[in-house]
Structures are given as structure tokens and as C-alpha cells.
Amino acid sequence: MNPGEDTSPDLWAAIWRLAEAWSQSPLVQEIAATLPRNQPFEKRGDKAVGIPALVQHLDLHAGMMMKPLMYASRIPALLSQPLLAGLGMPAVDQDELRDWLQKAAKLEGAHRVTLGWLRASLAGYPILRAPQLAPSTPLTTEEMTTRYIWSKDEFASGLNRRPAPPTVPDLLGADPKGAVELDEAARDVGRALAKSRAWVDFRGALHSLDDDAKEALRAARRELTERLSAEALDDHEPKLALPRAEYRSHTMTEVIESLTGPARVYADAFGEVDRLLDLTMGDIFGELVLFGEPWRVPVFNVETPKPGEPIVGFETQPIGAFLATGQILWLQNEAVPDAVRVELHSMKMDQVEGMHDHFEARVLLNTGEGWPAATIQIPSNDDPQ
């Protein structure tokens, strides 16, 4: 199954509601106001200064690591990279940066609690037998990863006994009315997730585990712990983050794929749960919270390049340069009624035809039904002026 195929209109509607509640909080509004994509066009690019310039610079040079709900942990790590620092990092007042990072840390904290709370409704919680949760996998490492990690503290904090994600309203600075809405909207998402195929399949997989399967899962976890030990990683590559991340993810896949029977079904079901959460309540939720309603953009040469996957290719003119990887859009076309998330952007320079922006994007199935219709339309060149 592909991530995004398991998404019901109800789940998308609940996520929209929760994102809206978050985006009305003082903390989110303050941070959103500093993000490059929320600046008017004339204040982007060379014209940007301060925090927006810094974020824009890091987006450009380390885009895949720059997820809006991870800024607080990512930006200090990226700033300490000597390779990045050499590339003309914009100067930012240190006090201003420290203050901003503290706010970003509250946002990231609130998101981690929310994710943790949603994960706590999984069958068997807090005892999850998934080998993916062994230390140092892409899902648990404190080093570079593109995933929203599952931390140990999360399991110890009794989140499954709380009626709503604790401390979130405080962290976001919500007023009492806002706090009620935050809690209710979170419960809405929880209910929709509990009905998702991923959640239901995971419960089924847990009930099918016999003693042998449980032992196989324990053994897989031990094997992963060993193969991803500090020594083993250093032996593969002592310094560079990318080969290390590659090694983690490759090793994890290899061990999971060596499982068979109910143990494999369980591990795969966990993988689906994680991917569903990562997409919906991680990346997409973060986009909605900080950037609001997706734009509707005119597109042409729409195509679907990968059979069986909800991926769409398209070209734009001339808005392309202002669209970012990770951004959610509505496509003005008839083939894809759902919103999409931009995953790949390539520019084609041609002396005859000029500049073309080509995109590949993941279709967020059922958002067309789950989300309110678009109101922000990017005009097309062809429109009468």
C-alpha cells in the first residue's frame, strides 16, 4: 500500500480542523509570520533579511531536512555543519535567533506530544513489539533523519490515559476557548485514525501474534540493536550523515524483510501506521498549520508517471519559481480533484521555449472531499486581464 491511500475524507477533515485550531494560536502566528513562504513576493530572495533570510537559505541548501515542525531541533544542528556555514549564511542577530528557536521548540514540543498522544491509541500500547522501534533506527535515532521519531520518554508518560494531548494549549499560548477547541479537534483526529485501515490492520496483526512470532520480533529487535550499534555504524562510515542515515534505513529494511508469517504482518502493519502518521499528522499537518490554505494553481501537461502510485506530474508557468518542495497545492485541472504535495521540482531552460517548471507531487487522496474548496486562486497567463 502507498502512503496516502489509506486516507478517508473524515481523517482529512479532522486534520484540517486541528490545523486551523493550531494556526489561530499566538505562538503559531508569531512563527508563521517569519517564514519565507509567508512573505510577500517582493520580500523574498535577495530582499529577505533576518530570520526569513536564514530559513530561506537553509531551505535552499538542506531542504529535505527542513520540516516546519522540526525547525527547533534541525536548525541548530544545520548551523553547526561546517559545509553549510561556508555557503554564505545570512547574518542574524544571535538574541533574535535564540528567542525564535525557543518559540520553535515550544511548537515542536506541542507537535511531539500530539503525535505521541495519537500513537498511544494503537493496539497494545505502550508495549509495541515492532523491530522498527529498536534504538538507532530511522524512527528512533537522534541523528539526521527525515522521520518524526518515536522517543522513549513518549512511552513512559502515560499518554494513553490522557483525554487530550497534555500541555499543548499552554505551549501554543491558547486562550481558554482556544484550548477547548484544540482538545476537541485532537480527539476528532484520534477518532478518525482509529477507524483507518492502518489502525485496524495493526490491531488484527497484534491478535494474530503467537509465541513464535513474538520471539521472532524480539530476535529481530536484538539483531537491529546490534547491527545499528555505534561501533557498527562507525565501521560503515564514521562521520558523514548521509551514508550513516542510508545504512540505518537499509539495515532496518533488511531485517524487517527477513521476517515471515504473523511477525512480518505485524512489522509491516506497524510500518503502515508510521507512514500514515508521518504523511498526514507530520508533513501535511505542519504545512497546514504554518502556511494555511493551499493555493490553487493553473497547470498543464498533467500526467501520472508511476503506475499504481498516487503521483502526478505537471508543469506550471510562470508561478513555478515560487512553489516549494513540500508545499500543498490544488491543481486547476480535471484529472486530479484532490490536493497534492510537491515532492520534486525541476527547472528546464530552453533557448527556444524559455523556462519551464516541472513538478512531481503526491496526491492526497480524498482531500477533495475532506477539505473546504480552494479560495486562493493563482491567476494564469491565459486569463483575461
Partner 1 sequence: MYELTVSRMADRANAGDVRIAVAVLGVVFAELLDEGRRYANPLAWDCMVAEATAFLEERGGATDVAAVREAVARSGLVNAVITGIGHTTLRVPVHDSFADYFAARAHADGLVCLPVTLLENDENRLWLSSQMQMLSDSEALAVAEQLPFSLVRVSESDHNPISEQTPRMVAALLNAVLPDRTDVGVRMWRTANGKTMAQAGTAATGWVDPERAPSVFAGQTVVAEDGDGPTVIAVRLWRLILKHRLRRDRRLRPRNARSRQEACDQLSDHCRDVVAAATTILTEVAPPGAVDRLKETVGPLGMTGVVYERQGREVGPDGWPVRYRNTEAVDLTAAPDSSPPPEERNGDYSAWSDVEARVSTSPEATAAKAVGEAVTKLTRNHWL
Chain residues in the site for partner 1 (CB under 8 A): 83, 86, 235-240, 243, 246-247, 250, 300-313, 333-336, 348-350, 356, 363
Q: Which one, 88 or 238, has the nearer CB to partner 1?
A: 238
Q: Which one, 163 or 305, has the nearer CB to partner 1?
A: 305
- How far apart CA 91 and CA 234 sit, in angstroms, is 34
Q: Which one, 161 or 239, has the nearer CB to partner 1?
A: 239
Q: How far is the CB of 256 from partner 1 (least distance, A)?
A: 15
Q: How far is the CB of 382 from partner 1 (least distance, A)?
A: 11
3-class DSSP state for residue 365? coil
Q: How far is the CB of 348 from partner 1 (least distance, A)?
A: 4
3-class DSSP state for residue 334? coil
Strands 328-332, 295-298: pairing kind: parallel
Please name the helix (run of DSSP H) or strand (run of DSSP E) that holds residue 247, with its range, or none: helix 241-257
Strands 340-350, 354-363: pairing kind: antiparallel
Kindly report the CA angle at 271 between 270 and 277, in degrees rounded to 5? 90
Q: Residue holding cell 481523517?
A: 11
Q: Which one, 4 or 169, has the nearer CB to partner 1?
A: 4
Q: Which one, 142 or 303, has the nearer CB to partner 1?
A: 303
- How far apart CA 10 and CA 365 sit, in angstroms, is 12
Lookup: cell for 379:
491567476
Q: Which one, 6 or 188, has the nearer CB to partner 1?
A: 6
Those residues whose C-beta lies under 8 Å from the C-beta of residue 217, and which sit 6 or more positions away, are: 129, 130, 131, 209, 259, 263, 266, 267
> Alpha-carbon Rg of the chain, whole angstroms?
22
